[in-house]
Amino acid sequence: MENLWNDTEAGKHQGLLAERVYSSRLLGANPALVLHGGGNTSVKGVWKNIFGEDEATLFVKGSGSDLISIEAKDFVPVRLDAMLKLSRLETLSDMDMARELKLATLDPTSPAPSVEAILHALIPHRFVDHTHADDIVTITNTASGEARIREIFGDDVIVLPFVMPGFDLAKLCAEVFPAQATPRTIGMVLMNHGIFSFGDTAKQSYERMIELVGRAEAYLAKNAALAAPANIAPSADWSALPALRKNVSNAAGFPMLLRSHTSNSTLAFARHPEVASISQRGPATPDHIIRTKRVAMLGRDVGAYAQAYRNYFEANSKLSKLPLTMLDPAPRVIIDPEFGLISAGRSARDAQIVEDIYLRTQNIVLRAEMLGGFQALGAAELFNMEYWDLEQAKLKKSGPPKAFAGEVALVTGAASGIGKACAQAFLNRGAAVVGVDINPEVESLYGKREDYLGISADLTSLEAIKGILEQTIRRYGGLDMLVLNAGIFPGGKKIEALADELWHKVMSINLDSNLAIMREAHPLLKAAPKYGRVVVIGSKNVPAPGPGAAAYSASKAALTQLARVAALEWGNDSIRINLVHPNAVFDTGIWTEEVLLQRATHYGMTVDEYKRNNVLHEEVSSKDVAELTAEMCGVLFSKITGAQVPIDGGNDRVI
């Protein structure tokens, strides 16, 4: 376990809270310690109130914060004396505890304090660190886990059985810590969950964490070292994934994204001779159950999994009397011998988190098997965590999902202009977006984010189109919405001067490539969980062509006819195809300031007058076209197909 502490860097962080931020980020930088918001840290200090008085204060990680990027504002100041008083109560429900924690917060603008705030307050050290270290979780998830932990650490750590985070865990700690702690005690292990370290300084607490986890790491290297999996040639039929996605979405009751991970390790795990048993024993730590669900499914029979999950829900909900409306029997982890690991989520980030968690879970399970067998908590305990009151309250506060949550949009010509604006419009509505353009800038358009995939490709190549759709399937599981925007508008050429080469080039890009994309995407759109949608970006030149634009006008007119025929043919597949016909959209690449000035001068107008030279005297922007395009894929157009809608501010020739 590598120690990342750097005295020079640490020296740049002056003050207790700044030191707490620095060491917390060191923990967050190691996914073997914490992952996606897991773990917790705190520091005890003072808060100066409005009267100038110092109040003893616990600064604890706020709910929703991630240690890898945590800032000072993400540590919630709570009254230390209030935490200690709460620990002396006999009982305290989760919801009452959450209310009391909020009432004890000294800054009302802070996020909700961690549910482990009382526990952190009880530990008699200034700095407290808590992680779900893989090596610790591996050892504790075995039948002889406690004995092994005591063998590794002796009296350097206190060992607690698993108890739900919150008041019950704090109460247990209040009883056990004073009785078992010695001058040698530097940490605490919570079985099936993780490890705590503590110290008088940020450096001491951090380095104790690294030391303790390092001991577990060395133990596993000696007793449960995994050999690298052999090279396995992927054999997945990616065309089968959209149908699987539809089944998962149907089970959930809303669209879901699927993310596939076909690597040596995932394929080896999926083909492990005991995978049918070891994959069904539960998560590595109960915290993961909310993301991954209770059971990792083997194979693609979503119906069988869903029924098994219903049985599990009904058996356990009899005790808690949870309503059936809370039931979501869709799997979040699918283990398949061809696809390896498939993760499901309502958003691209959710699917990514599930994948990250289960990639680590696979190794934990396999190493625990080498220590006598992976053994997670029982079904009832996991159910209580999955349907924990505090988690359900958090879900309610998050509000309804965005319009296109769980859906995928592919936009061509996405590097600039209308296409770029379309990509943003769909992202704003919660869709995962695949942006395609011949310009390589499309790949880095939005930096690194899970819900955007940029692909640089030549759409006149059929192989490139097939590759784009395969990447879309592998990243998101399928396709729901297709925006055909890519095209070229060559300089004005009258028919007598129009060369065959230019004619064929325009037709190849504006027409032929769109036919190929539609044809190849049809099976994906047909398998869309709700219904497939296509929006074609046409042109004013379809109803009102202009001189010198024969190739462009003919290509857009032919594309319009193609879309109309598709609307007729694909209606039985519940696929809607509609068109928008923009005109005079000047915030695109072809309209430079110089060109705009020339055209405005030619008509005796100012540039602003030229931009608004339409019936309504309104300027039409790429964003205007994009918003209409996105709405055409929404519920307002759910009963409309084959429509052609101009967006031009009103053109007298079109009207």
pLDDT in tens, 294-309: 566 788 889 888 988 8
Q: Do domains 7-223 and 238-397 have the same CATH topology?
A: yes
More confident residue, 312 or 46: 46
Instruction: Name the pLDDT band for 9 (thresholds 50, 70, 90).
Output: very high
pLDDT digits (tens, 9 = 90+) for 546-596: 898 999 999 999 999 999 999 999 999 999 999 999 999 999 877 888 888
Determine the length of the chain.
655
Question: For the residues 79-103, what does the mean pLDDT come to?
Answer: 94
| Residue-level pLDDT at 82 | 96
Most distant CA pair in the chain: distance in Å? Answer: 97
Tell me, what DSSP letter sits at residue 435? E
- pLDDT band for position 169 (cuts 50, 70, 90): very high
Q: Which CATH architecture has domain 7-223?
A: 3-Layer(aba) Sandwich (3.40)
Q: Is the pLDDT of residue 89 over 90?
A: yes
**Percent of the chain whose pLDDT exceeds 90:** 80
> Mean per-residue pLDDT for 211-229?
94
Write the class of the CATH domain 238-397.
Answer: alpha beta
Contact 454, 414 (CB under 8 A): yes
How much is the pLDDT for 393? Answer: 75
Closest CA to 377 of 136, 141, 133: 141
pLDDT per position as a tens digit, 98-129:
999 999 999 999 999 999 999 999 999 999 99
Mean pLDDT, to the nearest integer, of 143-171?
94
Mean pLDDT value of segment 177-186 = 92
Q: What is the pLDDT of residue 320?
A: 66
Q: Is 22 a catalytic residue?
A: no
Mean pLDDT of 528-545: 96
Question: In the structure encoding, which two tokens stand for residue 258, read together?
Answer: 């699927």
274-283 average pLDDT score:
91
**Looking at the predicted structure, is the pLDDT value of residue 319 above 70?**
no
pLDDT (0 to 100) of residue 45:
96
CATH 3.90.870.30 fits 408-585+620-647, yes or no: no
* Residue 317 in this model has a pLDDT that exceeds 90: no
pTM of the model: 0.92
Q: What is the pLDDT of residue 294?
A: 59
Tens-digit pLDDT profile for residues 282-298: 888 888 877 777 566 78
DSSP codes joined into one string, 234-296? ----GGGHHHHHHHHHHHHTS--EEEEE--HHHHHHHT-TTHHHHTTS--SSGGGHHHH-S-P
DSSP per position, 102-142? HHTBS-TTS-PBPTTHHHHHHSSSSEEEEE--HHHHHHHTB
Tokens of 415: 């590097």
Average pLDDT over residues 231-243: 88
CB count, 10 Å around CB of 85?
A: 14
Q: Looking at residue 243, what is its pLDDT? A: 95
Asked if residues 500 and 268 have their Cβ atoms less than 8 Å apart, the reply is no
Of the listed 309, 387, 476, 552, which one is catalytic? 552
Give the pLDDT mean for 414-435.
97
| The pLDDT of residue 246 is above 70 | yes
Better-predicted residue by pLDDT, 214 or 305 = 214
Whether 166 has a pLDDT exceeding 80, the answer reads yes
Q: What is the pLDDT of residue 31?
A: 94
- Rounded CA-CA distance 121/76 in Å is 13
Question: With 90 as the cut, is the pLDDT of residue 528 above it?
Answer: yes
In the chain, % of residues over pLDDT 70: 99
Whole-number pLDDT of residue 295: 66
3-state secondary structure of 1: coil
Q: 191-206 b/e with 16+ CB inside 10 Å = b?
A: bbbbbbbbbebbbbbb
Report whether pLDDT(506) > 70: yes
Q: Are 140 and 146 contacting, i.e. CB atoms less than 8 angstroms apart?
A: yes
Question: Looking at residue 402, what is its pLDDT?
Answer: 94
**Domain-wise residue ranges, the chain:** 7-223, 238-397, 408-585+620-647
Exposure string (b/e) for 551-581, b if CB count within 10 Å is 16 or more? bbbbbbbbbbebbbebbeebeeeebbbbbbb
List pLDDT tens digits, range 21-51.
999 999 999 999 998 878 999 999 999 988 9
